[in-house]
Amino acid sequence: MLDIKEIRKDPIGLEAKLKNKVPEVTLTPIVELDEKIRSLKTEVEEFKSQKNQISKEIGIKKQKGEDIAKILSEMGSFGDKISKGDQEISQLEETLNNALAILPNTPMDDVPVSPRAEDNVCIKEWGKKPTFSFPFKNHVELNEKLKLFDFVRGAKISGSGWPLYVGFGARLEWALLNYMLDIHRKNGFSQVMTPILVRPETMYGSGQLPKFEQQLFKIKDDDYNLYLIPTAEVPLNGMHLDEILDEEQLPIKMTSYTTCFRREAGAAGSQERGLIRTHQFNKVEMFCLTKPEDSERVYEEMLKSAEEILQGLNIHYRNMLLTTGDMSFAAAKTIDIEVWLPGQNRYYEVSSVSNCTDFQARRSQIRFRQKNEKPQFVHTLNGSGLATSRLMVALLENNQQEDGSVLVPKVLHKYLEEENVCIQPK
C-alpha cells in the first residue's frame, strides 16, 4: 500500500509514475477524499475544543450556583456533532483505505517505461542454447516413452491442469526441490515450512487481495474462510504481520518449498500443454525482510542464489529487467530469469525476483525499530528459487538424446542415489 503522506507531497508526479504501470490509475478521488477527511477532522477537533471549554464553564457556574440548563443543552449539541463527525470520518477512512488498497506499487526509477512485455530488457545471458543433430522433441513427446508424468490420470483425479508425477518423474522432482533448498541454505537462507491455506488478511498483506480475488482458489464454508496460496511469499510475509522487529534481526532471509495453486492454466495449444502452465505446481521461494538501505544488496543476493541453481544444472538462461507495464502489482522492480525451452522454441520464466520496497510491509504493518527511534517499515523482497514445472521441462528438453533418453545433470545424482543417471525410454 502506498503512503498517503507521499501522495499528498506530489500527487501529480506520483500519478504519472503509476500510470506507467497501470494507465487508468487516477489519484484525484483519493486526494479529494483525503482532503475531506482532514477537513472533517479539523472540524470535529474544534467541536471537541468547544465542548471542553463549555465543560469548564459548567463547573464555574455550578460553583456560583448559577443555572446551567441552557449551557448543558449547548454541550449536548456539540456531543451530537462530534459523534456524527467521528462516524463519518470512520466511514470515509474505510473508503480511502479501500481505494489505496487497489493502487499498485510505484516503479523504481531504473525500471524501463513501457506497457509492453516485448520491451523487457535483457541484462544478462549465461550459457548457450543447445543445438541438436536430430529432430528434437518437446517434453510431452518425450514423456510418451519416458513415463515420468501421467496427465491423463491427473485429469481423471482433478481435471485438466493438475499434473501427476509418477515413478522416476516423482523422484526427479524431489531431487530438484532438495537441490534448490540446499543451495539457498548454503547462501544464508533459513528454511521454513509454511501452511498452504491462509486467512484473508494474510492474502491482503501480500497484495493478493482484493485485486486478485478471482484468480485464487479458496475454501469458504461455515467453519473456514481460507485461501490456497499462489506462492510461499504469501505465508512468509504473513509470519510477521503486525510485528515490530529489532534492527539486529534484519535482514531475515527465508526459503520455503510449497505446492502452489492458481486458477488460470493457460490457453490450449502445443506451447501450453503438459507442465508449461498448470493449476498446481511446486516451487521453492525466497523471501526477505530488510532495512530500506539494505534491500538492493539483498536483492542481488537473491538473484545470484537463483542463478547458481541454473548454472549448476548447466541450463542456458537470460535475465530480463521487466518494464513498468509487465511488473506485478506489488513490485517496484522485477528481474525475470528465463530458460530456453527447445520444444516451445521460446524462453519461459522460471523465477521472478522482485523488490516490493515497503508496499507489503505497510499493508501488513511489519516494522522495525532502530535504537530509540520511531518504528519504520521494512522492505520485503521475494523471488522464485525456482518453480520446478518449467524447470523440469528445461531439464528434459535441453538434455534429450537422439534415442529419446535424457541425461540427468550431475548435481542431482546424489539426491537420486545413482551415478551417471540417464532416463531411458520404456
At 11-48, the pLDDT tens digits run 999 999 999 999 999 999 999 999 999 999 999 998 88
Give the pLDDT band (50/70/90) at residue 64: low
pLDDT(146) > 80:
yes
Strands 218-220 and 406-407: unpaired
Active site (annotated) includes residue 116: no
**pLDDT tens, position by position, 192-243:** 999 999 999 999 999 999 999 999 999 989 999 999 999 999 999 999 999 9
Question: What pLDDT is attached to residue 268?
Answer: 44
Catalytic residue among 173, 233, 256, 277: 277
Catalytic residue among 206, 352, 364, 384: 352
The end-to-end CA distance of the chain, in Å, is: 53
Residue 371's φ and ψ, nearest 5 degrees, are 50, -120
Interaxial angle between packed helices 168-186 and 139-146, expressed in degrees from 0 to 180 and rounded to the nearest 10: 120
The answer to whether the 28-101 and 117-423 domains have the same CATH topology is: no
pLDDT(270) > 50:
no
Residue 77 CA to chain centroid, in angstroms?
Answer: 50
* CATH class name, domain 28-101: mainly alpha
Active site (annotated) includes residue 352: yes
Topology annotation, domain 117-423: BirA Bifunctional Protein; domain 2 (3.30.930)
Lowest pLDDT segment from 179-183, 246-250, 266-270, 398-402 = 266-270
Contact yes or no for 219/197 (Cβ under 8 A): yes
pLDDT(266) > 60:
no
CA dist., res. 213 & res. 152, Å (int):
29
Active site (annotated) includes residue 8: no
**pLDDT tens, position by position, 347-392:** 999 999 999 999 999 999 999 999 889 999 999 999 999 999 999 9
**Amino acid identity, position 122:** C
Active site (annotated) includes residue 262: yes
CA dist., res. 384 & res. 184, Å (int):
11
**pLDDT tens, position by position, 288-339:** 999 999 999 999 999 999 999 999 999 999 999 999 999 999 999 999 999 9
Active site (annotated) includes residue 57: no
CA dist., res. 297 & res. 188, Å (int):
14
pLDDT(119) > 70:
yes
CA dist., res. 424 & res. 421, Å (int):
9
**What is the pLDDT of the chain when averaged over all its residues?**
93
Grid coordinates given for 115: 506497457
Grid coordinates given for 31: 486526494
Question: What pLDDT is attached to residue 272?
Answer: 66
Q: Is the peptide bond before 386 cis (omega within 30 degrees of 0)?
A: yes
pLDDT(63) > 70:
no
CA dist., res. 13 & res. 97, Å (int):
21
Question: What pLDDT is attached to residue 371?
Answer: 85
Residue 251's φ and ψ, nearest 5 degrees, are -80, 150
Question: What pLDDT is attached to residue 267?
Answer: 45
Please state the domain extents for the chain.
28-101, 117-423
Catalytic residue among 262, 273, 363, 367: 262
Spatial neighbors of 200 by CB under 8 A, at least 6 apart, are 209, 225, 227
Contact yes or no for 37/92 (Cβ under 8 A): yes
Residue 261's φ and ψ, nearest 5 degrees, are -135, 140
Question: What pLDDT is attached to residue 269?
Answer: 44
| pTM of structure | 0.92
**pLDDT tens, position by position, 329-351:** 999 999 999 999 999 999 999 99
Catalytic residue among 308, 349, 405, 418: 349
pLDDT(78) > 90:
no
**pLDDT tens, position by position, 152-168:** 999 999 999 999 999 99
Contact yes or no for 401/386 (Cβ under 8 A): no
pLDDT(61) > 70:
no
CA dist., res. 290 & res. 160, Å (int):
40
